[in-house]
Amino acid sequence: MTHDQFIAALANDQETTKTKIEDFLLALRDICADALETDGRVTAGPLGVLYLTQHRAVGFRASDQVRKRLNAADVKLPALFERATCGKCKSRAVKVRYVQQKKCPTCIETARVKNRAKKNATQAA
């Protein structure tokens, strides 16, 4: 289905104009992008879930209703769906680096500053 066919089908189904449907889709895009940026996931009700992967790509998992209708396999969500929390400050940062360390960018930078200060103090003494 092309973009134009999609817009026309939605407009026909909802008995509204194509312009209103296009405006709605633009608003939906902006809302989803903002939510993915802050929370890392968007639950779109009966449609499914959008989520950010470790490499900042967008993944999608169809809802149970959609998968049943399509007779699609019930596949487990990737482990990345559950976003990591920083091991130090416990924040759910959008990007937690170094899977082994599980630190958010703020804690990594704080540690670097402290290590530099210790190194400089040792060299000065």
The number of distinct structural domains making up the chain is 3
Same domain? 120 vs 92: yes
3-state SS string for 42-67: EECCCCEEEEECCCCCEEEEECHHHH
Same domain, 65 and 96: no
Q: Residue 96: its pLDDT value, please?
A: 46
Q: Are residues 76 and 92 in the same domain?
A: no
Residues 25 and 56 in one domain: no
If asked whether residues 102 and 117 sit together in one domain, one would say yes
**Residue range of the domain that includes 106:** 84-125
- pTM over 0.85? The answer is no
Based on the domain organization, do 54 and 33 belong to the same domain? Answer: no
Whether residue 125 is found in the same domain as residue 88: yes
Separation between Cα atoms, residue 42 and residue 17, nearest integer Å:
27
**How far, in Å, CA of 58 to CA of 37, rounded?**
11
The reply to whether 70 and 52 lie within a common domain is yes
* Segments in the chain below pLDDT 50: 80-81, 96-100
Q: Quick one: pLDDT at residue 22? A: 94
Identify which of 77, 89, 1 has the alpha carbon closest to the alpha carbon of residue 40. 77
| E strand segments, 8-115 | 41-43, 48-52, 58-62
The pLDDT, as a whole number, for residue 98 is 46
Give the pLDDT score at 18.
93
pLDDT of residue 63: 86
Are residue 79 and residue 61 in the same domain, yes or no? yes
